Amino acid sequence: MKKAYTQTWIENLAIQETSENWHFKNLITDEQLTSIKASFPEEFYRPGLFVKIGLFLFACIACSFFTGFISLFILDAGDKAFSLVSFLCFICFTFSLEYLIKDRKLFHSGVDNALLYAALGSLAVPFVMLFDNLQVWQYCVLAMLILTIAAIRYADLFVVICAYLVLFTLLANLMMKFSLGKALLPFAVIALSLIIFYLAKKVESTYYANCKKLVEVLALITLYLGGNYYIVREGNALLSDLSYLISPQIPFAPIFYGLSVLIPLAYVFFGLQYKNRILLLVGLFALGFSIFTYRYYFGFLTVAQGLTISGGLMIFLAVACMRFLRETKYGLTDEADSERKTANLEALIASQYLGQTPQEQSLEFGGGNFSGGGAGNEY
């Protein structure tokens, strides 16, 4: 499927961001930074955060006024006419979105995001109103189809989140149709999360770089929640519509006792081993939630005592790790750094130093201590 934004500019933008990071660390000079930006230009309109928020709100208000104005003509026309007007709004919003992206060179600048959400919302109305007798899983299939197409074309993070939630809603709805579905639902969530994480790892396009990271984070979170004892036990009580003061014990409880601990520890271990910051951070948050889980059911300390002990322990571990990793050890360091993202940037900087024109656009790196990119202490 053809992408809405110019992919070459997105790749050049990634190169510029990496080069600016290198310039901040005094790894390249001002002249080299200027040369890199001149060699890899991009023309996207990318306002600041507060301007982006303002543009988003303004576009939402404009879309609401447009929809309200059109609706004035069909107040008494019935549901079918309203569905037709909603579909007309979808066409108008989509046309405006495509035109502004090409003419104004928007790139997730607020206006294009608002138009995309308005278009998807307008398209959802006819399906809900005209097909009001469908089952939940059928609505999920239709929503997944629309959201997947939108995510592939526009690479919007919020659309990716919605598609991800709809996918797991579809899974839960289908599992609940079987007699053993409720008991096997946590394992199905874990399995689906593993599959999604594996597939996300295969994505290499710079166009979907942020979406890839987001999907990896979501997959790691749902994988952990699918095996967390608290989530499974309380979720089982909620699905069973039980109103006990204390939720009843669940089947396979020892398995979830172990998963609540093993999954966060595995995240932390592999995050350190493979220098994967996403795995490490999600693992640390998951480990904290696991501590809450065990304290909720088996706690013997008061809240004040638990917070005091855990807080003191975390401060001690943080200080100890910072002092231990002040110098690089086992490939780890306390110094913040960014991964190298583009081979083009490597080739260009090499040409700046050596006076040679880069011949290859794809280079292989490895074996060094500088972010795993191949540059050692002699860089």
- Secondary structure class of 92 (helix, strand, coil): helix
In a domain, 31, yes or no: yes
> For 134, left (φ over 0), alpha (ψ -120 to 50), or beta?
beta
Question: Are residue 28 and residue 61 in the same domain, yes or no?
Answer: no
Domain endpoint, select from 72, 99, 133:
133
- Residue 113's domain comprises 44-133
Same-domain status, 118 and 63: yes
**Residue at a domain's end among 133, 153, 168:** 133
Q: Are residues 18 and 73 in the same domain?
A: no
Closest to 159 in 3D by CA, of 212, 197, 116, 195: 116
Residues 13 and 75 in one domain: no
127 and 51 both lie in a single domain: yes
Instruction: Let me know if residue 64 belongs to a domain.
Output: yes
- Per-residue confidence (pLDDT) for residue 336, from 0 to 100: 63
In a domain, 196, yes or no: no
Domain end position, chosen among 133, 165, 185: 133
How far apart (Å, rounded) are the C-alpha atoms in residues 200 and 36? 30
| Residue 379 clears pLDDT 60, i.e. is over it | no
pLDDT reported for residue 358: 45
The answer on pLDDT for 377 being more than 70 is no
Q: With 80 as the cut, is the pLDDT of residue 77 above it? A: no
- As a whole number, mean pLDDT of residues 171-197 equals 93
Please indicate, yes or no, whether residues 37 and 50 belong to a single structural domain of this protein.
no
More confident call, 245 vs 144: 144
In a domain, 250, yes or no: no
What total number of domains does the chain contain?
Answer: 2
- When pLDDT is averaged across residues 30-49 and rounded to a whole number, the result is 93
Q: Of the ranges 199-208, 292-301, 313-322, 358-367, which one carries the lowest mean pLDDT score?
A: 358-367
21 and 98 both lie in a single domain: no
Q: State the Cα–Cα distance between residues 102 and 96, nearest whole angstrom.
A: 10
Q: Is 102 within the bounds of a domain? A: yes
In a domain, 144, yes or no: no
Segment 218-247 shows an average pLDDT of: 88
Whether 112 is in a domain gets the answer: yes
- 26 and 81 part of one domain: no
pTM (two decimals)? 0.83
Question: Taking the CA atoms of the chain, what radius of gyration do you get in angstroms?
Answer: 25
pLDDT at 24 over 60: yes
Distance CA 1, CA 6 (A): 13
pLDDT in tens, 125-153: 888 887 888 899 999 999 999 999 999 99
Query: Quick check: is 17 in a domain?
Result: yes
Buried b (16+ CB within 10 A) or exposed e, 179-194: eebbeebbbbbbebbe
Round the average pLDDT of the chain to a whole number and report it. Answer: 85
**pLDDT the model gives residue 164:** 98
Instruction: Note whether 107 and 121 are same-domain residues.
Output: yes
